[in-house]
Each structure stands twice: as structure tokens, then as C-alpha cells.
Amino acid sequence: MKDNTAEISEIKALLGDKPRKAYIRSFGCQLNVSDGEKIKGLLKKMGYGFTEDEHEADLIILNTCAVRESAEDRVFGIVGSMKKLKELKPSLIIGIAGCMTAQSHIAEKIKKSYPQVDLVLGTSAISALPRLLLEALRGAKFSADITEYDDFSEAAEQVRESSFKASVPIMFGCNNFCTYCIVPYVRGRERSRRPEDIIGEVRELVSQGYKEIMLLGQNVNSYGNDLGGECSFPQLLRELNKIEGDFWIRFMSSHPKDASKELIDAIFDCEKVAKHLHLPVQSGSSAVLDRMNRRYTMEKYLGIVDEIRRRDDDFSLTTDIIVGFPNETDEEFRATLDVIKKVRYDNIYSFIYSKRSGTKAAEMPDSISDEEKGHRMRELLEVQREVSTEHYKRFIGRTMRVLVDGVSKKKDGWLTGKSSEFIIVEFEGDSSLIGQFADIEITDAMNWAVTGHIKKG
Ligand code: 5AD
Ligand code: SF4
């Protein structure tokens, strides 16, 4: 762990008693949100408070995502508009963190075209924040650190977004090199955290009253591969399940090529592990999966689904799908629609393929027009809506245990929560239930949620 206590003290002394506010915005996946919580943890130590309004901020950090071009464009749009804020408040410090910074052409672009940016912080250099901030506070025009210190994976203090749901990264990086994906280039190779550190952190969170622990990794199934066989992911699940308390364990994401029988056994044996598996299929065509370098066939994927459904026909499955991978034929796309109908996913996260420079797929010829890709996406969403509504109907008349998330955005006086199956459940109730478990009798199903009322007695 990089020692930055001297810099933290210097910043505290420099800022004095004047309250400073930071605006931190994280884009993209939950691992990035977790990094944002660590950035906040460091800033809190330096004496910063937080604001949701960038106009009030003395420091802005955009914690970026590079998975799709649209996410990058959004960040560039926001940074562009921040030029005005900086003109109004010249002491404002603007920083860019996260996956975008790890691409050299993007880092160059930021430096060259966005002079309002004061600091750039790499994904493995979060602990360098105090030093960079100190330089900026002392008047440096631009400072950057995208070194891979890899020193921030343990015992980092965090300012958590929720008081009842916590994300716990169990590993960092990815070794898989799916041909479309930028992650292995911006997050480096897989590094697993020590099992005892993870268990200690979860135990502490549960003792603080957290009700849902989300274990995070790009591919949690390869957890422990770098620990010399000491602890696999299914073993870790079993250890965490032993922690006393009323809480759920979730995890994300699970690569189908490594989804083993041991994993399925652990899910069904551990009562605290939620009855839901996010198993990204990406495409329903084995030929496309091959071009994606996914290293499983549809046969293997459907074998895992069958094994799960054999044990529990209701088990909830969700997935990620990429539409319009280079040269995806109509037949290949139809194979994806078939899989959706066959598996009956409870939810799908679908994305139009986005070319990422530096990846293998970026070099592949692609004759499919954007219009056609948009058309396919709409068709896929239509099929998914039908499948979800039909599939959600199985819950009508049953009682679902729900962790209450907050107030419903759809109806006044209603609350929203998620069931163990990761299904949105909406019902009438008092806001004092937020952060608690509640039993809900389901009366209706829509394509995005089920609704019901609190079980009496
Ligand atoms: N274009 C579109 N979607 C992508 N994903 C990853 N890379 C790309 C890309 N280049 C999707 C995959 C992955 C999810 C997190 O993002 O479906 O599972
Ligand atoms: Fe990207 Fe594939 Fe790694 Fe997931 S498993 S982060 S899609 S390379």
C-alpha cells in the first residue's frame, strides 16, 4: 500500500478550516462505482465534503468508463461544458479518473484539447490522488499518473453510496481478451484479493447492518487462479455463507466458460447466495462466439442453463448481449433471439457493438449498417419484453422476499425493491422499510417489474 499520509496531511493543512466540496461522478460498471467510493474515501480523509451539484464543487472528478464509445462521448461532452464552470470559478480543480485514462490516445486528447482538466488518474493509481491534488492545489497546470501501482486493492477506506447494499471487489483486471472488449487493456491482468481480506470486509459490513453484499470481478469464476489453488470462487462463496447474519450474497460477472458444477453446487448449497445468476451469453451463435473469442459454444452454455433449471426451474438468469458484432449475419442474429426464448431470461442488458480501438474486433471487416444494427436491437428488445412479461407471471400468487431499495419513481406512496431473483418488485409501503427485507405477495407482472402488497402477519 502506497503511503500517502504525508500528502494527505499537507492537503488538510493547506485547506485549513474552510469547508471544501467535491463532486464525484462514476460512469459504467459497478467496479467503477466501487473505485468512486474509494476516491471519496481518500477525499474524506483530506477533509473534503461532497455535493451532488457541480456548481457548488471545489473539486470535480469524473470517473470514466471506456467499454463503449457512447460513454466516452458523454464524458467529453461533460468535460467540454465544464470549461464554463472553471471560468466562473478559476480555483475549481477538474480531474478525470477511470478506464478512459488508460488509453493513450484518450489521455493525449484530454491533455491537448481540454485545458480545463487539471489531473488525470489511472485505474491502478487511485492512491496517487493526494499527490496529484497537492500539485494542483499548489498551482500545477496539469498532472497525471497512470502508473500501475496496484496498491489500492486492500483496506481502502470508502465512502459507500448505500447504507444497506455494499459492493466488494474480489478481483481486478481480466485475462480473457474477448475480441470486442477494451477491459483487459485498461484494467490489466487478473489479480485476486486475499480470501481472508474479503471475508474480513464482508464480516465487518454485515456487522454494520449491510443486507446485500455484491461481490465484483470481471470474471469472478476465475477468482483464485492466481492464488495457487488456495481458494476458488465456489470455496469463497461457501466461506462467506458461514458468516452469521441476515444478508444476501450476490456476484457479478460470471464467464460461462468457467461456470463449473462446483459453482452451481455452491449457489444451491448456500442459503445466503441469491437465486440469480448473471451469465453473459453475448450471442446465440457459436460462430459469433468464436469470433468473439468467448471460448464456449452454445451447446456448453445451454448445458449450464439446463443443469441450473434441472435443480430449480424458476431460477433467475440474466445476461448481456451484443447486437451487431462485425459481420453478424441475419441468421446469427436470429440464433440470439432463439436463445432468449429458450433460456427465458428474467432480464437482458443489450448493447449495440461499439468499435474499440486496440481490440481485435476493431480490425474485423464489418458490412452491417448502423441502421440494420438499430433495427436488430429494437427487434431484440421486443422479444425480450414478451419473454420477461410471460416469465414474470410465474410469481403471481407467490410471496417474494424483497430488499427494499427506495421510493418508487412510478407511483406516489409506493416503494421499490429487488427480490433474491434480482427482479424489481413494487408495492405500497412506508419509507421506514427502506433498507429492510419485506415479504411481498405478488399480484401482477409487467415487463420490467412485478407488483404486490406487503404480506400481513
Ligand atoms: N461494444 C458493445 N458492448 C460491449 N460490451 C463490452 N464491450 C463492448 C463493446 N465493444 C458489453 C458486453 C459486456 C458488457 C459489460 O458490456 O456485453 O458483457
Ligand atoms: Fe471484457 Fe470478456 Fe473480460 Fe468480460 S470477460 S471484461 S467481456 S474481456
Q: Which of 30, 178, 251, 282 to mutate to test the pocket of ligand 2 (most atoms within 8 A of CB)?
A: 178
The pLDDT score that the predictor gives to residue 150 is 61
Task: Quick: pLDDT tens for 320-333.
Answer: 999 999 999 999 99
Q: Which residues contact 200 (CB under 8 A, 6 or more apart)?
A: none
Those residues whose C-beta lies under 8 Å from the C-beta of residue 360, and which sit 6 or more positions away, are: 177, 179, 293
Phi/psi at 285 (5° precision): -110, 125
C-beta separation of 419 from 400 below 8 A: yes
The domains of the chain are located at: 5-145, 162-274, 275-394, 396-454
**CATH code, residues 5-145:** 3.40.50.12160
Neighbouring C-beta atoms of residue 69, cutoff 10 Å: 12
Atom of ligand 2 nearest to the CA of 219: 5
Residues of the chain with pLDDT under 70: 1-2, 150-155
Q: CA 416, CA 406: separation in Å to the nearest integer? A: 6
Q: Give 139-186 as a DSSP string.
A: T-S-EEE-------SSS-----S-SSEEEEE-EE------TT--HHHH
Rounded Cα–Cα distance for residues 264 and 342 (Å): 20
DSSP code at position 360 = S
Given ligand 2 and candidates 67, 172, 174, which is best to mutate, with the most ligand atoms within 8 Å of its CB?
174
The full 3-state SS of 69-80, as one line of letters, equals: HHHHHHHHHHHH
Q: Which CATH number fits domain 275-394: 3.30.470.10, 3.40.50.970, 3.20.20.70, 3.30.750.200?
A: 3.30.750.200
The pLDDT tens digits of the residues spanning 210-239 come to: 999 999 999 999 999 999 989 999 999 999
Query: Does the Cβ of 176 fall within 6 Å of ligand 2?
Result: yes
CA nearest neighbour of 34 among 159, 131, 140, 150: 159
Q: Which ligand is nearest to the CA of 186?
A: 2
CATH number at 162-274: 3.30.750.210
Architecture of domain 396-454: Beta Barrel (2.40)
**DSSP state, 262?**
H
Angle between the N-to-C axes of helices 195-207 and 233-241, in degrees from 0 to 180, rounded to the nearest 10? 30
- When computed from its CA atoms, the radius of gyration of the chain, rounded to whole angstroms, is 23
How many angstroms from the chain centroid is the CA of residue 451? 26
The rounded distance, in Å, linking the Cα atoms of 57 and 34 is: 21
177: CA distance to ligand 2 center in Å?
6
Instruction: Give the rounded percent of residues in the chain with a pLDDT score beyond 70.
Output: 98
Supply the pLDDT for residue 23. Answer: 97
User: What pLDDT does residue 1 have?
Assistant: 54
Instruction: Tell me, in angstroms, the distance from the centre of ligand 1 to residue 137's CA.
Output: 37
Residue-averaged pLDDT of the chain = 94
Q: What is the per-residue pLDDT for 15? A: 86
- How far apart (Å, rounded) are the C-alpha atoms in residues 114 and 103? 16
pTM: 0.95
Of 177, 180, 183, 325, the residue with max ligand 2 atoms within 8 A of its CB, to mutate for a pocket test, comes to 183
Task: Work out whether the CA dihedral 167, 169, 174, 176 comes out positive or negative.
Answer: negative
The CB density around residue 35, as the number of other CB atoms within 10 Å, is: 28
CA of 113 to the centre of ligand 2 (A): 30
- Start-to-end CA span in the chain (Å): 51
pLDDT given for residue 189 in this prediction: 92
Q: Tell me if domain 162-274 and domain 275-394 are identical in fold.
A: yes
pLDDT of residue 155: 59
Ligand 1 centroid, distance to 66 Cα (angstroms):
10
Q: Confirm or reject: Cβ of 320 under 6 Å from ligand 1.
A: yes
Q: Does 270 carry a binding-site annotation?
A: no
231 annotated as belonging to a binding site for a ligand: no
pLDDT at site 145: 84
CB of 174 shorter than 6 A to ligand 2: yes
